[in-house]
Structure 1
Amino acid sequence: MAAQVAESLKAPEKPKAAPLPEPAVEPAPAKTSREGKRFLGYYVDPTRHEEIKQAALDEGIQIQELLRQAVDAWMDANGAEAVAAVERRRARRAGR
């Protein structure tokens, strides 16, 4: 009887589960918004970062889009010389 009680107190054996099949590895889709583009970034103080982040949240856009709009606005207002310089450099490279 004691053997039966001891046997009933043992934890039931767990059935061994079959190993799960390996998930198929699919390549991550390309980020088309970055295709053919170059990275441009700069460091800011933490306080300025929070201000920029909040401004982007207020506008409902990502920080990257806010900065793109800021650079585009600056180029529209001040970038004629920079654009001309780039065009001259491209023309020189094409003539090589």
Structure 2
Amino acid sequence: MAKPNPLSLAAQVAESLKAPEQPKAAPPPASAPEPAPTKTTREGKRFLGYYVEPLRHEEIKQAALDEGIQIQEVLRQAVDAWMEANGAEAVAAVERRRARKAVRLG
């Protein structure tokens, strides 16, 4: 026997939860245009990630749940702690690499 499609089941549930349609009211008078949506938290940022073993992922996921935060926040805190301990060296290495590149290109 074929498994039921969860999407069709979800659509049926959503349909059954819809409120009965109310008569439409007259549209509100024209007003100032709506402001543009605010930027998302990802705007102007770059993705940084790495692969972990399934067991390690579950550990990180559980730690985030225990703290009431997202996995992304756990990783941000880990990177912040690493930068606190090694940041000066890491920044200096990036600056040296950029200087070498500028000499090669310039």
Aligned residues with identical type, % of pairs:
87
Whether 2:81 is the aligned partner of 1:73: answer yes
Provide the TM-score with structure 2 as the length reference.
Answer: 0.53
Q: In angstroms, what is the RMSD of aligned CA positions? A: 2.3
Instruction: Give the distance between the partners of 2:98 and 2:41, measured in 1 at CA.
Output: 24
Q: Alpha-carbon deviation of 1:80?
A: 1.3
Q: 2:54 aligned to 40, 46, 49, which one?
A: 46
Structure 1 runs (4+) greater than 2 angstroms displaced: 85-96
- Structure 1 residues 40 and 46: alpha-carbon distance in aligned structure 2, compared to 1, 3 A threshold: same
* Distance change (3 Å), C-alpha of 1:31 and 1:44: farther
The match for 1:36 is 44
AA aligned to 1:56 is: A
- The gaps in structure 2 that reach 5 residues or longer are 1-36
Determine helix, strand or coil for the equivalent of 2:47.
Answer: coil
